[in-house]
Amino acid sequence: MIASLIAAVMLTAAPGPADVVKSSNTEVQKVASAPGAKVEQLTKVVERFVDFGELSKRALGKQWDKLTAAQRKDFTATMEGLLRASYAQKALGQGKAQVQYGKETIEGNEASVATTVKVQQDELPVEYKLFRADGKGEWRIYDIVTDEVSLLETYQGQFRKLIADKGFDGLLTTLKTKRAQLEKNSTATP
């Protein structure tokens, strides 16, 4: 009986999906708007909330199961670097966005949190999709849907086409090339 009481208290003490999204937005904005902010600082914050492994796995779909552990690790690292190069640089110095939090929906180990983000005069609906591994872990973000466009679904479509045309190795080479180009451009920008 005491064990179940302790377990219940521990489960209620863990942050829910909406709390995770609020914390991530607050911390990302704090770092992104700080004078002299660096991509590395922003990346450390994002890594605490986003599960790049889960995003990679879901983006590849059935292809994921065909990969070796080394290929999965390489692909996940490439995806993480690509996303870092694509989005972190854009986020720096953009100032604070106003975020209104809407409905939180939880279905088993999956959740979504609806928000509206206002940047200057633009308002965008943004939905965060989260999961919790084995129903025990922390809620982690694996997809962001902005104005009804899913980051995950966009990657899924692109990856299916590239795998059909070039195979998995061709996809990985393409992503590594794109990552290198983005990283080069971000270091060349003052």
Model confidence pLDDT, tens digit, residues 167-178: 999 999 999 999
Q: Which of 45-49, 61-65, 131-135 has the highest mean pLDDT?
A: 61-65
Buried residues in 98-110 as b, exposed as e (16+ CB within 10 A) = ebeeeebeeeeee
Residue 75 parent element (H or E) = helix 69-83
Q: What is the CA radius of gyration of the chain?
A: 18
Q: How far apart are the C-alpha atoms of 130 and 14, rounded to whole Å?
A: 14
Structure tokens at 154: 């966009």
> Each residue of 51-74: pLDDT tens digit?
999 999 999 999 999 999 999 999
Average pLDDT over residues 79-100: 77
What pLDDT was estimated at residue 138? 92
Q: Given its phi and psi angles, is residue 117 left (phi above 0), alpha (psi -120 to 50 degrees) or beta?
A: beta
Better-predicted residue by pLDDT, 50 or 136: 50
What pLDDT was estimated at residue 151? 93
pTM here? 0.84
Report phi then psi at 110, rounded to 5. Answer: -115, 145
Residue 89 parent element (H or E) = helix 89-91
Q: How far apart are the C-alpha atoms of 146 and 153, rounded to whole Å?
A: 12
Q: How far apart are the C-alpha atoms of 100 and 25, rounded to whole Å?
A: 11
DSSP β-bridge partners for residue 111 = 106, 130
Split into its structural domains, the chain has a count of 1
Domain of 168: which CATH number? 3.10.450.710
Q: How far apart are the C-alpha atoms of 76 and 88, rounded to whole Å?
A: 17
Domain enclosing residue 80, as ranges = 2-188
In this predicted structure, the answer to whether residue 1 has a pLDDT above a threshold of 80 is no
Question: Which band of pLDDT confidence, cut at 50, 70 and 90, is reported for residue 89?
Answer: low
Q: How far apart are the C-alpha atoms of 57 and 74, rounded to whole Å?
A: 12
